[in-house]
Chain A
């Protein structure tokens, strides 16, 4: 049978439909094929016409027998079509593809059957699919389905979207895995069916950038990796990561893009918070050093460099970090390594020195960072300059020590002074009875000298216990200092000069002159001792000098002195400077502590400068010291200038105002004086009616009401009065001084609103203590 040229090519317009006509007869010769099929098989129409190609030639050897069996079975049963199981074919260049084929059967005269096979290529990823190894037929099928199932499951389970898309602006998807729902909010059918174009989801600001990057990668046949933003169906912004590659078609031209897109919003957020965190570390007011597990430094923040003067290169490891605060041999350094090697966090406060030599306190923490398995992965070291806090604590400790000394002194002074009175008295009496020049007289004279020293010690101690502001008056400081220097002058050795310099003008201060004397005398004595203790003076050929000076000091903004802080205000500055031995910083730190002395046991009590400090503080002043070892010392006392028009000092106001009522005047003057001597303001009245009227007008002016009951007054009268005061202002304490014979106890008192009762005769110190306590409680209550 002759055929016309061109008959071998079947007129099928769809390349995807593969049609082959053949004859089920020996040779199974192919008569004609569609263009798609010819293209796939890589054979020309002339080869078909020349009857050179049979169906068996294109069927995979493993599938030939089954394919022909399926035809034979259908013919036997009289069917006109066969739906073949998926089978492999071998195409151009030995390429293997999977086809899904339906063959129509048409019997011909002569017993032959004309077959028309319609096939679709069902191979996925046809150009990369490896040829499966030759196995048993059944196994192959099972394996194939299994691997397909796995692939689908795998893609479906991916947190992200695997895709194949067209190269167009809309990014029209040809395939999208299930993960697209989670990523975009659209299902695969919506993205592939044109309902939603993935390209339109891409953030407008990112479109140009990623399009350019893709074009470039595809042009170079490279894989592209991009991060960009999309807006999902709900309008939520997401950060995504995409990797893809251009896939060329049969003609080598770009046909599609295949790849994978996943949501990295969480990572981005973490990355951003990590960025914030690292910024925080960089800006931290605390020095931070991070090392690896072996202690090798990976990072130091700017604060560390500012604090220590060291940069990353100067701190190569954890040891160098520790050594920037302490010495290798110290106990703390050893303890640190013991703690760290045990996997624990180490904490310590270390005396450190800056690059410029300045001393500071560093609070240092080194913490191991562990992974989930408890292995150390890093060390983080932090350090903070806690000098100010340490100083505040030190001041508090010192103040507490002084207070303790004061309490102690107050407790023993009474008995001690009585004992000393007896010792001094009897030794002087004995002295008078002993003949001049006798040995016993000399011995007893030593007792009087010892007793005088003890007397001086007790008086210094009492400086701490006296908090009252007795005898404080507005005085010219210059006159007081000149007086004091007259006391000092006789004790100055001939080879020491004492000079006095002063600014002109009145230097009025509110002060207790005797206490200022004590300040000047103690400072000069300290200066003399410093000069005397100096070995340089030795033979007496080097002269020592003490300069006492007075000057004005006006402070606009809070001023940092060497050892103190001066609040704004106007001051008189009293300076005592010497050319003596001077002091090192550690010594200066302690000189105002009670009992601290560098002097020989017989020379100093260790209380002189502490007393000066106490007096100056009591006067609302400040004391500063400047000294260098070997170069003398200079003490400056700043006392506030008295302002006649100014308000009363806060400390005085704070002491509180007391209303004192005594109809019979028995206690009035004594109690009034006692209370005033303690710095209280006292309004005393012998008329309870007038006092009550005064009180009712403005009760808040008073912090305590003291009602004194004279022996003749009746209890009911006192209680009625107390009730009247309590009713006028419930918060203000009432102290009743009553006769021990009267029945003041019990509910009657409570009902009358009396806070405390003190039995007559009133013991002065108990009375003052109790009154002070009640006023302090009231003031504290008012402050709240």
Chain B
């Protein structure tokens, strides 16, 4: 079982992910943006970070870079449903910046659990 940090500004999505992982037997905590997420990680490093990309204050790509710089062995899953301003597919960029896996919203709990298992190497 793993400690998972979930960073997403959308309350419904974040809560849904927390429940999915908790029911899957993991320990999960949430953060509402990149700044909160990085702070939470520094305080209590998780085994896996699931982060959204488009968020206020600090978005996901910067967050991935910052976490990867500070913790090179970190495991990250990037999730996104597209940007509001530009029609932009950022998930390949996230992958290039160091996310092991990406998931396109919307996804099902089963798909999330599959990805978690894959990234954790279980």
Contacts and interface: CB of A to CB of B under 8 A. Distances in A.
Contact of B97 (A414, A455, A670): A670
A254 interface: no
A670 B81 contact: no
B106 to A, nearest CB: 4
Given A421-B105, A764-B53, A462 B13 contact: no
Given A471-B92, A761-B59, A764-B59, A424 B107 contact: yes
Interface string B51-89: 001100011011001000000000000000111111111
A187 interface: no
Most chain B CB within 10 A, of A409, A425, A669, A678, is at: A425
A484 interface: no
A696 to B, nearest CB: 31
Interface string A403-437: 00010011101111111111111101100100000
B90 interface: yes
B27 interface: no
Interface in A442-479: 448, 451, 455, 462, 465-468, 470-471
A682 to B, nearest CB: 13
A203 B2 CA distance: 115
Contact of A425 (B83, B96, B108): B108
Interface in A752-784: 761-766, 768-769
Interface in B93-108: 93, 96-97, 104-108
- What size tier do the contact residues of chain A reach? 35 or more
A674 interface: yes
A590 interface: no
A673 interface: yes
A411 B84 contact: yes
Contact of A761 (B58, B81, B87, B97): B58
A468 B87 CA distance: 9
Contacts of B85: 763, 765-766, 769
A671 B3 CA distance: 31
B3 to A, nearest CB: 21
Nearest to A454: B106
Contacts of B87: 406, 409-410, 413, 462, 465-468
Contacts of B104: 417
A410 B90 CA distance: 13
A451 B106 contact: yes
B117 interface: no
B108 to A, nearest CB: 5
A714 interface: no
Given A419-B12, A468-B88, A468-B89, A424 B83 contact: no
B86 A416 contact: no
B97 A673 contact: yes
B89 A677 contact: yes
Interface residues of B, number: 37
Contact of B89 (A415, A470, A669): A470
B109 A410 contact: no
B81 to A, nearest CB: 3
Nearest to A675: B93
Contacts of A419: 12
Given A425-B16, A670-B97, A470 B92 contact: yes
B120 to A, nearest CB: 20
A453 to B, nearest CB: 12
Contacts of A768: 86, 88
Most chain B CB within 10 A, of A419, A422, A471, is at: A422
A430 to B, nearest CB: 10
B106 A414 contact: no
Most chain A CB within 10 A, of B85, B88, B92, is at: B88
Contacts of B108: 424-425, 428, 448
Given A418-B81, A669-B97, A670-B61, A765 B105 contact: no
Contacts of A467: 87
B42 to A, nearest CB: 17
Contacts of B88: 468, 677-678, 764-765, 768
Contacts of A424: 106-108
Contacts of B49: none
A414 to B, nearest CB: 4
Given A670-B97, A764-B90, A768-B88, A422 B62 contact: no
A589 B10 CA distance: 42
B20 A425 contact: yes
A669 B23 CA distance: 37
A726 B92 CA distance: 34
Contacts of A673: 93, 96-97
Given A422-B16, A424-B106, A764-B83, A432 B92 contact: no
Contacts of A670: 61-62, 65, 93, 97
Interface in B1-36: 10, 12-13, 16-17, 19-20, 23
Nearest to B109: A428
Nearest to B11: A422
Contacts of B97: 669-670, 673
Contacts of B83: 410, 414, 764-765
Nearest to B91: A470
Contacts of A764: 53, 59, 61, 83, 88, 90, 93
Given A764-B90, A765-B85, A769-B85, A429 B13 contact: no
A413 B106 contact: no
A776 to B, nearest CB: 13
A765 B82 CA distance: 10
Contacts of B59: 761, 763-764
Most chain A CB within 10 A, of B19, B20, B81, is at: B81
A285 B110 CA distance: 68
17 contacts: A410-B87, A411-B84, A413-B87, A414-B83, A416-B81, A420-B81, A422-B10, A422-B12, A422-B13, A428-B109, A432-B109, A466-B89, A761-B59, A763-B85, A764-B90, A765-B54, A765-B84
- Which 9 pairs, one residue from A and one from B, show the smallest C-beta to C-beta distance? A417-B81, A465-B87, A420-B106, A410-B87, A422-B12, A425-B16, A417-B105, A765-B83, A413-B82
Interface of A: 406, 409-411, 413-426, 428-429, 432, 448, 451, 455, 462, 465-468, 470-471, 669-670, 673-674, 677-678, 761-766, 768-769
